[in-house]
Chain A
Amino acid sequence: MSVRLSDLFILYIDPGTGSLLLQILAGSLIASVVFFKKTWYAFLALFKRKPSDQDTKE
């Protein structure tokens, strides 16, 4: 679905054209960075020592 930015200007607060354009222009890059970071953290989590049963008992 597409959106007309002009529709966004009848709003409770002024969203600012620059703020809206930035989201649209940088959106893909930000999404890639978030995807990369999440994957990286998930990868690191594989090597983190999980508390063993013994730890729990102690």
Chain B
Amino acid sequence: MTDQMVAANPTGIFDRSKKGTRLRPVVIPIERGRIRFFARVLGETDPIHFDVGEARAMGYPDLVAPPSFFMSIEAAANEERARLGQTPVLKLINCDYRYLLHGDEHYEYFGLMFAGDEVSLTTTIVGFYEKKGGIMEFVTIESSLSHPVRGLLIRERRTLLHRLG
């Protein structure tokens, strides 16, 4: 079976009807403790992630979040959605953790994230596709993270997949 034939009649697990869904923006506060914990697990030693005095001496308003801290904000956004009675992204598209893999992850950076910021995350389910006759099915998700004064900080795009064979 060709990928086109599978696409016309998908047999996977993802809920294809969610294509194009744009989730309501969620506002997330960035906490110092969370930055420190995250940076420590990654083996960071740069004081701008740990020491407020050092960060300020370098000209930053507060602790600077590491580049991959976006992940933590996204997880917090999912928790916040759950608290508000909204469906988290992965549940919305019907991810099955037993088969779920992360295909790729891309960030464009327009500004830094600091402790004390309240940032807004907007997420869109871009679409679905498959490879290898449907044994692998993919979803592309895009998010934008912005600050009310400094504007867009990060644009993110990721591909997740179910490996079904």
- Do A and B come together as binding partners? no
